[in-house]
Structure 1
């Protein structure tokens, strides 16, 4: 990537954040996101530095939330989160009114929600599983996601304009039960970054940094197991849940005190719905452990 093609202000932001990325290696290693390639981190930094919204797209357990948390730390900005579901409503986004007491008098106060807080404070807003929300709910924040960066609070009629530094990071798992396709108007408001599973040496590093497992041979076997699971998912033999990196890390931790195959059973196999998939994963585990 030729950073000289970017505006000078963005070049400076990018260089500062890349330096911060180096300075924050301990933070990343202690639970942050270890990207499969530097390009993912650079692209996200550039987009956010330019005031773009980013949409992290990838399978469950690939590290999208950790990626968002790491970006928040690198920019040194707080992050307010919205967890989408069919029950998501305007109050969940903007806030709600409640009764309070001032000098023994009952009053009505407004408690700001994540969208309001993030906009006023110039921090990040993280919208998790954005395609789980009802299609009629998200248009409320269309103005937040485009050049206007403005919204009228339906509960107070206050016009809220985002402070400098405000940014939006969303995450999406496509094809899961309960999800709906994003409409084009919403999708066009984001820069999309595909977040794949990490593999090989980077996964080995993540296991070393994020779990208490120290047995090098076991770690090597878990890395191989993960690769086999990801391959099976790509071939349509397993659902994406089976290859969750989050579940694999749980198995690594449990294997310190439990036999590895039992750790895999509790962390991965028992989460699967189909007996065929359970048997497939157990057979893979049998060949390695």
Structure 2
């Protein structure tokens, strides 16, 4: 039972700036349909990377933002009631498996462990998805691939992936890009000049050094693009940095003062 996946194709090339050999490694993994795990901090480009790869391979991409309330039925499907009685509706994972899409489970550790177990038979040599409620065994389409992402620095021990899950995946580590590459990304994505982008990246590097010393997370590349976009519309750099970089990541008055001081140093 195939369906039209037109809405899941990425029509325009997403901007992605490779930082090492991650594109070649991923393409090799896809060629053998190895399930892949992308690890790295929030906002460092994992989702953009998957979108770029799906575009480059010409494959549909079905993305699921995982959360702690997500059940196995949310992934695989459920029976629904309508005027004609009950009917089965495939979930996103089942749609991807049946139709040969790349299924991307974003922040997978947010999902409950009983939910993540349903991906196990899809991520070994069986490549099947049992729909127990329906009594059907879905054999994955030859083009199907599963990709998961998570932020290892952010998770508590309670929320880490089980070893039995991790060992089913190849893994790529992502981090914030090197200074010059991040400047290039911020300038391209936000429309500010390189000098402004350079200052924004320098502020972010100061903040990232405070991670674990009062900050849970550093300033992400995504946040720098937001700040740059505000500056490009005419907002003053200090106000844009306050709104897009400092206020979102901390409520601690001393930490805000320290970050505001870093902003004033560069702007």
Q: TM-score, normalised by structure 2?
A: 0.88
Aligned pairs for 1:1-289 within 5 A:
27-29=13-15, 33-37=16-20, 39-101=21-83, 106-176=84-154, 180-213=159-192, 215-233=193-211, 236-237=212-213, 239=215, 241-256=217-232, 257-271=234-248, 272-289=250-267
Distance in 1 of aligned mates of 2:30 and 2:126: 16
Distance in 1 of aligned mates of 2:68 and 2:201: 36
> C-alpha displacement at 1:70, in angstroms?
1.1
Q: 5+ residue gaps in structure 2? A: 1-9
Q: 5+ residue gaps in structure 1? A: 1-23
> C-alpha displacement at 1:275, in angstroms?
2.6
User: Are the counterparts in 2 of residues 97 and 109 from structure 1 also a CA contact under 8 Å?
Assistant: yes
Q: What SS does the aligned partner of 1:171 have?
A: strand
Q: Which residue of 1 aligns with 2:3?
A: none
User: Are the counterparts in 2 of residues 152 and 158 from structure 1 also a CA contact under 8 Å?
Assistant: yes
Q: What SS does the aligned partner of 1:137 have?
A: helix
Q: What SS does the aligned partner of 1:160 have?
A: strand
Distance in 2 of aligned mates of 1:240 and 1:60: 11
When you count helix as a share of all residues, which structure comes out higher?
Answer: 1
1:8-45: CA deviations, max 9, x gaps? xxxxxxxxxxxxxxxx9x8243xxx32222x1111111
1:75-94: CA deviations, max 9, x gaps? 11111122211111122101
Q: Which residue of 2 aligns with 1:10?
A: none
Distance in 2 of aligned mates of 1:212 and 1:139: 43
Q: What SS does the aligned partner of 2:37 have?
A: strand
> C-alpha displacement at 1:237, in angstroms?
3.5
Aligned length: 254
> C-alpha displacement at 1:254, in angstroms?
0.9
Q: Which residue of 1 aligns with 2:7?
A: none
Distance in 1 of aligned mates of 2:155 and 2:141: 36
> C-alpha displacement at 1:154, in angstroms?
2.3
Q: What SS does the aligned partner of 1:34 have?
A: coil
Q: What SS does the aligned partner of 2:218 have?
A: helix
Q: TM-score, normalised by structure 1?
A: 0.82
User: Are the counterparts in 2 of residues 242 and 269 from structure 1 also a CA contact under 8 Å?
Assistant: no
1:37-84: CA deviations, max 9, x gaps? 2x1111111112111111100011111111111111111111112221
> C-alpha displacement at 1:268, in angstroms?
1.5
User: Are the counterparts in 1 of residues 98 and 141 from structure 2 also a CA contact under 8 Å?
Assistant: yes
Q: What SS does the aligned partner of 1:147 have?
A: coil
> C-alpha displacement at 1:201, in angstroms?
2.4
